[in-house]
Amino acid sequence: MSHPSDLRRGSLGNVHWDADKKTASLHDVAFSIAELGSLQFNAELVNVDPAAGIAGMPGLSKATLRYQDASLINRLLAAGADERLKAVQLQQMREAYVANLLATLGPLASDPKLADSVKAIAEFAKRPKNLTITLAPPAPVPLATMKDVAAQGPRVLVDTLGLAITANQ
């Protein structure tokens, strides 16, 4: 199994700061771990004023996190299982995992604002290729409030942060 020494590629990406507009963007922050997958992160921030610090209320205007699977899900399913698992047995484990996941997420799936994200999570669990989490709030959200927003639950994440999850696109 891979471990941190298998880090294949990392990139601090590109940072652009516009002092006049008090905006910052972070693009293509990425890393990859052999046989597990890769992550890529992009973000747009507003009210970025180093002189004001956190009191200037820097805010998130958009962020995207994309995971590209390279067998992590299969490894998680097979963890602790007999090494002689056949493809059919692995598929049965995957189907049971997806059914359990859907049962857990079931109440969220009935919410029209969350249904597409739940469907994407289930699709990724069935056929893991990539999963993208996008935050596109209708108005910038101060970074200092992100923890409080997240603690209020999935519906608030959709309403306040514009949370959307897509899979295998």
Tell me the sheet residues that pair with 130. 68
**CA separation for the pair 59, 143 (Å, rounded):** 5
**CA separation for the pair 92, 97 (Å, rounded):** 9
Helix and strand numbers, DSSP H then E, in the chain: 5, 8
Asked if 48 contacts 21 with a C-beta cutoff of 8 angstroms, the reply is: no
Across the range 119-136, mean pLDDT stands at 92
pLDDT of residue 87 exceeding 80: no
- Which band of pLDDT confidence, cut at 50, 70 and 90, is reported for residue 82? low
By C-alpha distance, which of 89, 121, 127 is closest to 102?
121
pLDDT in tens, 136-147: 999 999 999 999
Residue the block writes with tokens 């893991």: 128
**CA separation for the pair 117, 17 (Å, rounded):** 32
pLDDT of residue 3 exceeding 80: no
Does the pTM exceed 0.85?
A: no
Across the range 2-28, mean pLDDT stands at 77
Q: What pLDDT is recorded for position 57? A: 86
Q: What pLDDT is recorded for position 72? A: 72
- Which band of pLDDT confidence, cut at 50, 70 and 90, is reported for residue 85? low
- Which band of pLDDT confidence, cut at 50, 70 and 90, is reported for residue 91? confident
Q: Torsions phi, psi of 131, nearest 5?
A: -135, 130
pLDDT of residue 6 exceeding 60: no
Across the range 64-92, mean pLDDT stands at 73
**CA separation for the pair 88, 96 (Å, rounded):** 12
